[in-house]
Every structure is written in C-alpha cells, then in structure tokens.
Structure 1
C-alpha cells in the first residue's frame, strides 16, 4: 500500500497529525503498537490521571468543605474500584472518539510495531506476527516517551511502580513514597493523599516543581502539606527494595548521610524519556541526541530528508498540547502552508488543587538573562469567587518588560488556573502589554478577574481589590 504520509505512534502528536493530514487531502496511515489509540496521554497519562484527580477532589471536598456550605453527609465512603472504573470509562469513550476521527478523516490505522525497512518503506508487525509492508513519501515519528528510573531502582510494577500502575491500584496505599517532586508525583500523590494515604516525597532538588517559576513550587507546598504530604529535599535516592508487603527507599541527604523511608508502595516519578524501541532508526541513519531524543531541524525534519519527528521524542517540553501543535505544523508543512509555533506561549499546567499554571519566561530566567522587568501579583485570597468556593490559596504573578510593559511571563497557582492560563497564553503569544490586558473587561465574580488585577499591579497603577 502506498501513502503520502505514514505516522508511527497514535498519541496526541501522532493522531492529531493524522487528522490534519487527512483534512488536507493527504493519503495517510497511522501505526499504533498497542490495541488502543491515543498513546500514553489518553490511556495511561493525561486523561486517566485527571479523571482520578477530579474524583478524589470531589471526595475531599465532600469530607472537608461541604459542611461549611450547610451540606451534611453521613457515612461518607470512598470506593477505589468505582473511581478506577469511572476513569476507565472516560478513557474508553475518549479512545472511541479518536477512532471515529480516524474514520471521518479517511486515515488507515494499522495495529502493530512499525519499523523502518528503508526511508520510504515501513513494516508493521502485528501481535500475531503478521507483517504488512507499507510504502510512503514521508514518515512522521511520534512514538512518545516512557517513565524514567534511577540507578538502583527497578520498577517492578508491583510495589515499586510508575504512573501507569499508580492509575490502576487495587487498594489505597497506607504510605506512598514518591520519588520526584515534579508534576507526575504531585498529581498522583494528591489523588491518594485525598483518599487516605500518607505521602512522602523524596526530591533531589531543594523544592517541588523546580523547573517552573520558583514561587509556584514554594506556594504549592503549603496546601500539599495541609493535605498530609511530607517533603524531604536535597535527597539523592540510591535504591528501592521490594520486601513483599513493603518498600524501603534509601537516599543520601545533603550531609552525605544515608537515610531510609519505608512504605507499602513507591512511585517512581522523576520524569520520562523518549521511546524509539523497535523503530530500527539506526539502520537508515536517523541521528539522535543526548538522552535518546531524535535530532530534528526547525521544521522537525530528521537527518533523513523525508522523515520527521514530533512530540516527546524530540527536544522541548514533554507536553501533550506541544506534541499536537507540532503534529499540525508538519501536516500543514507537507501541504505547503506556512505554519508557526510560538514555544514561549505554550502553557505548563499542574492539575493539583490548587492548580498551577505558567506561560512565558520565569522570573529566574529574566534575572539570569539580565532582562529589565517589573512584577505584579494578586493574592487569590482577595478574590470573591475564591472565598465563595473556599479555595483561597495562591496568587497570580505577571512579569512585564521594564521599558515596554510587554508581558513576558504569567505564573499562577489557584482555583481553575488551568483554564485562566488560556488568556495568559494568548497575551504572551500576541505580545500584549499589562496595561492593555488590564483594560479588558473581566466578568465578576470570576476567578479570572484576578489576572486583570495582577496586570494592574504590574503596571504600577495598583490592584483595585488589594
């Protein structure tokens, strides 16, 4: 079978690329290793984790907040199996939607491992061993990533688990040890802390969310501590051992002393690494970079002229929405359009509660680069809607150029930050000024009017309600 484009991997980069190629009239094939479309994001990442975060937050609110609203519940219970069943239902319906979109856009789907026979020929090996050879003008590699680990730590999928297993546990952990203070650890730690688990975080750096604006991680630590998290910073994990019904994690602290932590589960959450196993990229000369990333140019072309790569297998943040935009970019490039991606306006979101979201430059980046800037912030405590909802932790911080007032970065922690950051991303993308954004009428009472207030503070005029 001959195609204009073959895409290997059906995650948010691959399937979105396939849809756009189909819309543009390109004969397209999509190859997926597993039986379900959607990749890590849909099946064992973004979608299921957010479904469980939502469920656990409902339980937590019923337990901790409903009585203040005059709502009293007797014999409140949590069913982990039903929570996981809801998660599975969300995943299935979303996956079915992706299948429908493939049919709608006339994309041929092949299930099996895709590997290169040459730059223009790809073999699909199905689970039953059946082989199908496909020919194409172009190939897009979108095979995503898999969980990383550390020397001395083997993910056995029983007691020492990755995010995949954490989304399908059969019991609520009594004591969950989380290795890594990044997004995955804080989100999944939140799920289980809300429903009764003790959570201990062991982190190599000196704070959580260390890659984001420093103020965000420091602020998030406060509500997580109230939830029952304990944190051990500046600890280098040296090992983790499964002892049947318990796990012992060893680490070296800042003083060089060896300390140990004992729990019934250990979640390895130090991040992810590019996944290219089985592609046979070496045989056709595709160059890779440090960490196993596929090297690409500014148009996502690899060292082989007709082969492209997007998403987690290439440089940049490992975010589903980043991969999707790259998928659209290469598809439109194939159709000789003129696509564009502004990486500075890609938001980064943590779906804890309060939510954390960020776009543009961090304050640390501006300082390191010697860029003159001004900062304005607004506390969520001063927001009327937040007080109604009893969600008053956090702030919104706006960073602007010291001379031009152009918005350089917006960082927020608070209720619905994941939604508010959409306006912030637009402001950064369109190079808005804080003065300009402060003049936009925002609805009241809303969470997002706090962004207007932070912009007023950044301009020097001063927030109205603080």
Structure 2
C-alpha cells in the first residue's frame, strides 16, 4: 500500500492533519493503536472529564443549591454506573463523528501500532499480522502517556492514573490527588461533588500555576466550598500500601 502521507497517531493533531492533507489531494493513511480515533483528548482526557464534570455538577447543585430555590430533593442519590454509561456514550458519538470525517475525506484508517522502518516505510503491527505501508511523507503525532511516581506504580485499584479515575464504578471514600494542575483539579472536583473526601497535594505554592494568581485564588476558594482540601508547597516523598489504601509521606 502506497501513500503520499502516513500519520502515526489519531489524536486531535493527527486526525486534523490527515483531513487537511486529504483535502489538499494527498493520498493519506492514519495509524491508531486504540479502538477509537480521537486520542487521549476524546477517549480518556478532555471529553470524558467534561462529561463527568457536567453530571457531577448537576448532582451537586441538586444536593446543595435547589433548597434555596424552594425545590425539595429528598432522597436524592447518584448512580455512578449510569453516569459512566452516559460518559461512554458521549465518547462513542464523537468517535463516530471522526470516523465519518475519515471516510468522507477518503483517509485509510489502519488499526495497529506503527513503527518507522525507514524514511518511507512504516510497519503496522496488528493483532494477528503485520502490514507495511510505503509513503512519501510521515507525520508523527503519537502524543504522550501518563507519568506516575517512580516509587508508586499504577495498579488501577488503589493507585490510579487519570485514565483510571474517569472510569471508577463507585465514589471512593477518600482520594489524594497528587498534582494541582487542570487534570487533577477536574477529576478531584468530580469525585468531591459525589461525596469523596478529596485532598490535593501540590508541590508549587498554588494550584493551576500556569494561570494568573488572582484566578487561581478564586478557583481554590470555589473548590474548597465543594469540599476539596489542599496541601500546597508540598511534595510526596514516599508511599506505603496498606490493607485499606495508601499512606503518603
């Protein structure tokens, strides 16, 4: 199979580049190892986190805001399983939209893991076979992966990555979020709204440090009203797994 352009990685950078190339007349293929196109943003990042933020915000408002409007919501409860199904449905719908754009623009979607053999040759490892694509140009859009602590490996149960945290089937009793950036604050907010006791540990002296201090101060006050607690200017040095969870130092 020969192409003008092979794109490795089908996240927002990869699939938009593939579409533009195809629209300019290039015979284009896009390689993606995951089931869905869309990359981290669509499948385990921006989109699912926003879906969960919306659901948890509605629940939190019903629990704490309706009363002031004279609305009684006695016996209110949250079905986390149903909330996750809605989130998964949002992902599927948007993934179908990207599939449509691939087909509309005549882009060859190749499922598998791409490996560059030479300047114009890409090998794709699939479940039961390998495929070789020849191309004039290669665009690398493989994105990034979650980075953990050197002394604490992710296990998906007690030690969670952000990927795990968007797929929990029940609200934990307590949760420590290591890192007060956008991802940590979003997911911490989701679970705090659903009743989890959330503590955020941030090495820098303030949360969301890429933004202006006035903004982050207001954000911290808002999150504290939701129940989040903060330890700023604090680093995690060690961790010990226990029967009931994790002890951090």
**TM-score band, normalised by shorter chain:** over 0.9
Q: Partner of 2:108 in structure 1? A: 108
The aligned residue for residue 84 of structure 2 is: 84
Shift of 1:21: 1.3
Number of the residue aligned with 2:14 = 14
Measure the CA separation in 2 of the matches of 1:216 and 1:147. 26
Instruction: Give how far 1:135 is off.
Output: 0.8
What does residue 162 of structure 1 align with?
A: 161
Q: CA deviation at 1:234?
A: 1.4
| CA-CA distance at 1:68 after TM superposition | 2.2
What residue is the counterpart of 2:185 in the other structure?
186
Q: Is the contact made by 2:18 and 2:28 (CA closer than 8 Å) also made in structure 1? A: yes
Structure 1 unaligned blocks of 5 or more: 251-466
C-alpha deviation, 1:107, in angstroms: 0.2
Shift of 1:152: 1.7
Aligned partners of 1:244 and 1:178: how far apart in 2?
Answer: 19
Q: Residues 10-65 of structure 1: CA distance to partner in whole angstroms, max 9, x if unpaired?
A: 01111111111122211000000112111111111111111000000010111111
Normalising to structure 1: TM-score of the pair? 0.52
Which whole-Å CA distance do the structure 1 matches of 2:50 and 2:224 have between them? 21
Deviation of the 1:96 alpha carbon: 1.1
Give 3-state SS (helix, strand or coil) of 1:160's partner: coil
**Per-residue CA shift, 1:66-94, capped at 9, x if unaligned?**
22233222211101101001000101111
Partners of 1:2 and 1:135 within 8 A in 2: yes
Where do residues 60-209 of structure 1 align in structure 2 (5 Å cutoff)? 60-128=60-128, 130-209=129-208
Matched position secondary structure for 2:35: coil
For the 8 Å contact 1:154–1:240, the answer to whether it is kept is no
Paired with 1:97 and 1:203, the residues of 2 have a C-alpha distance of: 37
Deviation at 1:245? 2.8
Kept in 2: contact 1:37–1:98 (CA 8 A):
yes
2:233 & 2:61 partners in 1: Cα distance? 33
2:215 equivalent to 1:222: no
Larger mean Cα displacement after TM superposition, 233-242 or 51-60: 233-242
**Aligned equivalents of 1:245 and 1:84: distance in 2?**
25
TM superposition shift of 1:241 = 3.0
Q: Which residue of 1 aligns with 2:210?
A: 211
Alignment of 1:52-451 (within 5 A): 52-128=52-128, 130-250=129-249
Give the distance between the partners of 2:49 and 2:97, measured in 1 at CA.
18
Task: State whether residues 49 and 188 of structure 1, in contact with CA within 8 Å, keep that contact through their aligned partners in structure 2.
Answer: yes
Local SS of the residue matching 1:196: coil
Return the structure number with greater relative CO, CA threshold 8 A, min gap 6: 2
Contact persistence 2:84–2:169 (CA under 8 A): no
Contact persistence 2:156–2:164 (CA under 8 A): yes
Q: CA RMSD in A?
A: 1.1
1:246 and 1:210 mapped to 2: Cα distance? 29
Structure 2: runs of 5+ lacking an equivalent: none
Q: What's the CA shift string for 1:197-220, capped at 9, x where partnerless?
A: 111111111110112212211111
Q: Relative to structure 1, is the Cα distance of residues 244 and 101 closer, same or farther in structure 2, using a 3 angstrom cutoff?
A: farther
Partners of 1:14 and 1:142 within 8 A in 2: yes
Whole-Å Cα distance in 2 between the matches of residues 4 and 105 of structure 1? 14
Contact 1:153 1:238 in 2 (8 A): no
Offset at 1:127?
Answer: 2.1
2:33 corresponds in structure 1 to 33
